[in-house]
Structure 1
Amino acid sequence: MDTKDRVADHRGGMWFPASLWTACLLLAACIGGCTQERPDKDNGLVPATPAAVAATPTPYEAVPTYTPTPIIHIDVRLPPSTPTPTPAPQQHRVEAGDTLIDIAARYGVTVEDLQELNEIGDPRGLQIGQELEIPALHVPEEDANPVRARHALRRVAVAVDGLDIAWAMGEVANLDTVPVEQIRVAAHLQAADGTEMVRRTALAVRHITPPGKAAPFMFRLGEVSQTAHGWTLAVASIKPAHIGGYATELSVGNLRFEPQPSGTVLVSGLVTNHELVAVAEPEVVVTALDAQRRVTAVRVMLPDERTLVPGGEVAFEGVLIPLGEPVTDVTAFAQGFKDE
């Protein structure tokens, strides 16, 4: 074997014929070309024919299931019917520009009652500084308690949110013949021994409550306590309405609500201004009710337009987050201020 037929293997210093080296390379190539790598479960490769598997939905395709917040089963009581004296007539000192119509509207009484009580024959004869007696609001004879007689708590519920905070919700219905305002609701939480643990008060969400209408309320009571015995709810205070600059001639139409899979409720509608003047800062107060007609949510929704011309209309839309049972109905009213 001469030099040209030999090649050196530098790894071991041994010499092999060139023809033998070439044959080995060709054999290795043939073996490699005829060999297919076998899939390995641990190497992350997908088999040529994968087995059928059930499709797993992606997280954004999943629809959450609505789980209603439970109503707390605790006492919600009205205060005992303790007779109280009928309020004495109020006094009003006539100022420049006052008229009997303005004074009657301010105190929620009629012009005729003012004239009769103060023996006024000619309404044009008012004198600046004159003292007028204002008639007390009407109280039915069968109920000597003026608060209980003129108003009623209804649709009351107490529910807990996701943070274990209890909320009181409901309505105060005006049973009188005159409009009222500034309805304040009080809640007292007692322990089993009668000790007062918590006292909360809040205004109902309505500027002016006409006769036969109701003002909704919803306010935070506090964390649920194991020692709580029961809540007592009552109308703490209420005043005859002074209409003044409040806009009362607004209506809500096309009211619709759509419960969402997440448990929220989408509400929409249309506000119309029936006042003779423009209305500033219009707002819609929406109340959600469950199948038992209990209040489960109250929210103020603001239309996009912040001034509504006479005869004008504006759409509104918003989302309610109810507490308690699923919503089966909603009610709504609109309010605002006269832009004079």
Structure 2
Amino acid sequence: ATPTPSPTPVIYIVQEGDTLAGIAARYGVSVEALQRVNNIANPLFLQIGQRLVIPVGQQEALAPSELLPTPTPMPIGIRGVAFYETPVGSLHCLGEVVNTTAYTLTNVQVRVTLFDAEGTPVAEGRAFVAADLIPPTGRAPFSLLFTVPPPNFVSQQVALLRAEAAGELAERDVPIAVEEVTSTPYGPQIEISGFVRNMDPSRVAVVVIVVATTYDEGGLVNGFRQQRVEVGEGLAPGARAPFQMRLTVYGGSPKDVSLFAFGRAR
């Protein structure tokens, strides 16, 4: 018999601001698959320039007994969901999840399904939220783009697909405060600037990421951006660093803006 050719491996070079969850969502693979193929023990630690093998197509080759079951999602809320048509005809879904549990969560993923008039699913997509860890009462936005949405869809549904307790991973998170925030509208964009401060009494944050979410008058998410802050060799305990970002907002100037930041120790 003719042997089945192995799929050509995809190599991804980690860029500034990347997260393992974001890379997994981009290529449609699981975080666990990326960890397994690249021998990554902690999904929160990536290095700029690091080469990752993307196991595209390998999941389908696994026997049923080898497939890892999706953990039962923790109960969390989904709110602020909105759909926007882009200038090129794509459909952009934005929203956020809220951690209503007593645990810090990780690997939080949602599924967006489009239905036709008969209630039949005609398109589906999955997206991880913009934070590797969500503390209790915390929230994090998500984004999913349907490049060519089906013309016959008339309704949609957003559901929680997975959310896991972070366990020991949460202990490696460095608390970061966001201070002196200002925002200035620039047409369809908004510029946000401020400072981040390391609130940990002893650990240096070698990576600091700021996430900004904007809302319209009805509380629907109409924009968000995740950006890595330049901290040099690291942000020392009590020290702070400036940040500045621009993000595109649907429907004009936002009614409200929410920011949070998180850090990672070495």
TM-score with structure 2 length normalisation?
0.68
Alignment of 1:54-203 (within 5 A): 150-203=75-128
CA contact (8 A) 2:206 2:231 kept: no
1:279 aligns with 2:205: yes
In the alignment, the residues of structure 2 paired with residue 325 and residue 170 of structure 1 have an alpha-carbon distance, to the nearest angstrom, of 17
Instruction: Measure, in 1, the Cα distance between the counterparts of 2:199 and 2:75.
Output: 28
Greater Cα radius of gyration, structure 1 or 2 = 1
Runs of 4+, deviation exceeding 4 Å:
none
Alpha-carbon contact 1:159-1:324 (below 8 Å) kept: no
**TM-superposed deviation, 1:243:** 4.3
- The equivalent position to 2:159 in structure 1, one of 206, 209, 234, is 234
Q: Residues 333 and 270 from structure 1, CA distance in 2 versus in 1: closer, same or farther, beyond 3 angstroms? A: same
Paired residue for 1:313?
Answer: 240
The answer on 1:296 being equivalent to 2:228 is no
**AA of the residue aligned to 2:133:** I
Secondary structure of the corresponding residue to residue 229 of structure 2:
coil
The CA distance in 1 between the partners of 2:209 and 2:101, in whole Å, is: 25
In the other structure, the counterpart of 2:129 is 204
Q: Secondary structure at the match of 1:308?
A: coil
Structure 2 residue 252 is matched with structure 1 residue 337: no
- Alpha-carbon shift at residue 325 of structure 1 (Å): 4.4
How far did 1:324 drift? 3.2
Asked if the contact 1:158–1:168 (Cα under 8 Å) also holds between the matched residues in 2, the reply is yes
Q: 1:223 deviation in Å?
A: 2.7
Please name the residue that 2:184 is paired with. 258
How many Å separate the matches in 1 of 2:102 and 2:225? 27
Rounded to whole Å, the distance in 2 between the matches of 1:250 and 1:330 is: 18
Higher fraction of strand = 2
1:297 and 1:289 map into 2 onto residues whose CA distance is: 7
Which of residues 324, 328, 334 in structure 1 aligns to 2:255? Answer: 328
Q: Which amino acid aligns with 2:189?
A: T
CA distance in 2, matches of 1:224, 1:325: 24
CA distance in 2, matches of 1:297, 1:159: 10
Cα distance in 2 for partners of 1:197, 1:246 equals 41
Any conservation in 1 of the 2:174–2:205 contact (CA below 8 Å)? no
Report Cα offsets for 1:285-311 as digits up to 9, x if no partner.
Answer: 111111111111110122222421111
1:248, distance to aligned residue in structure 2 (A):
3.8
User: Alignment partner of 1:150: what SS?
Assistant: coil
In the alignment, the residues of structure 2 paired with residue 246 and residue 204 of structure 1 have an alpha-carbon distance, to the nearest angstrom, of 19
Identity across the alignment (%): 22
List gaps (5 residues or longer) in structure 1. Answer: 1-145
Instruction: Tell whether the 8 Å contact from 2:84 to 2:93 is kept in structure 1 after alignment.
Output: yes
Q: Which amino acid aligns with 1:293?
A: G
State the aligned residue count.
192
1:268 corresponds to which residue?
Answer: 193
